[in-house]
Amino acid sequence: MTSLLEVQGLCARVGTKEILRGVDLVVEPGEIHAVMGPNGSGKSTLAHVLAGRPGPEVTAGRALLNGTDLLDLAPYERARAGLFLGLQHPIEVPGVTTHAALARAGVPRDRLTAMMQSSAAEVGLRVDLLDRPLNVGLSGGEAKRNEIVQLQVLRPKVAILDEIDSGLDVDALVDVGATLTRAVATWGLGVVAITHFRRLLDVLPATNVHVFVDGRIVESGDKTLAVRLERDGYMSFL
């Protein structure tokens, strides 16, 4: 059976440094996978490699989305195939509004404004911020909410969310968690949520929790694994 996302033995290096050392991960529709691990273990690099960000060089492995190897595709083709990346640090893109970026992504223009406005209302983003150039002048929390607006309009099959909870106040965290949880229920979105905080799982109920150390997943379990990490840290995995 073909899985939604299947990462097999993925290895990548930056320069001469091996950052990913054999990542295995399978995500099915409607599953929420939390990936937790120490700083510098390669979590963001995994997200970037899957999305095709230039920099890391893939040295081994595969990453299949519904059976198609993402690694053979250009970044925009990966997005069109249904992959979404929510960046840890959303970048400012002066001169390009969120609206224009989404229109270029193929969302029908006649429906786009209404879709963006209803998504913004759902996730608690001020509607006037949608007219700004992409992420320009947005606070950390506003930029993260803006990522969720884009996700809702694009309706990807898989969302990789890199510390979507960082910079969010407690109300924003609830809004973002509820919106994502609805996306999972509504269209079977599969989520890979990279996070440092178990409390994200209070608002985004993970079906699977993974410990990511030194470039690979070293242990997988259910929500109780996140509770254990919160209590004991990563010492026993290093």
Ligand X SMILES: Nc1ncnc2c1ncn2[C@@H]1O[C@H](COP(=O)(O)OP(=O)(O)O)[C@@H](O)[C@H]1O
Q: Which residues bind Mg ion (CB under 5 A)?
A: 43-44, 88
Here the tokens at position 194 are 């990279």
| Residue 27 or 47 with smaller CB distance to ligand X | 47
Cα separations (Å) of 192 from 86, 94, 109, 209?
10, 28, 29, 10
DSSP assignment string, 152-196: HHH--SEEEEESTTTT--HHHHHHHHHHHHHHHHHH--EEEEE-S
Q: Which of 12, 44, 164, 177 binds ligand X (CB under 6 A)?
A: 44
67 near 59, Cβ under 8 Å?
no
| Residue 15 or 95 with smaller CB distance to ligand X | 15
Q: How far is the CB of 135 from Mg ion (least distance, A)?
A: 18
DSSP label at 2? -
Query: Considering CB distances under 5 to 8 angstroms, the limit depending on partner class, which of Mg ion, ligand X, none binds residue 97?
Result: none
4 near 190, Cβ under 8 Å?
yes
Q: How far is the CB of 188 from Mg ion (least distance, A)?
A: 27
Q: Which of 5, 34, 45, 120 binds ligand X (CB under 6 A)?
A: 45
Q: How far is the CB of 43 from Mg ion (least distance, A)?
A: 5
Q: Which of 4, 5, 31, 42 binds ligand X (CB under 6 A)?
A: 42
133 near 94, Cβ under 8 Å?
yes
Q: Which residues bind ligand X (CB under 6 A)?
A: 14, 19, 37, 39-45, 55
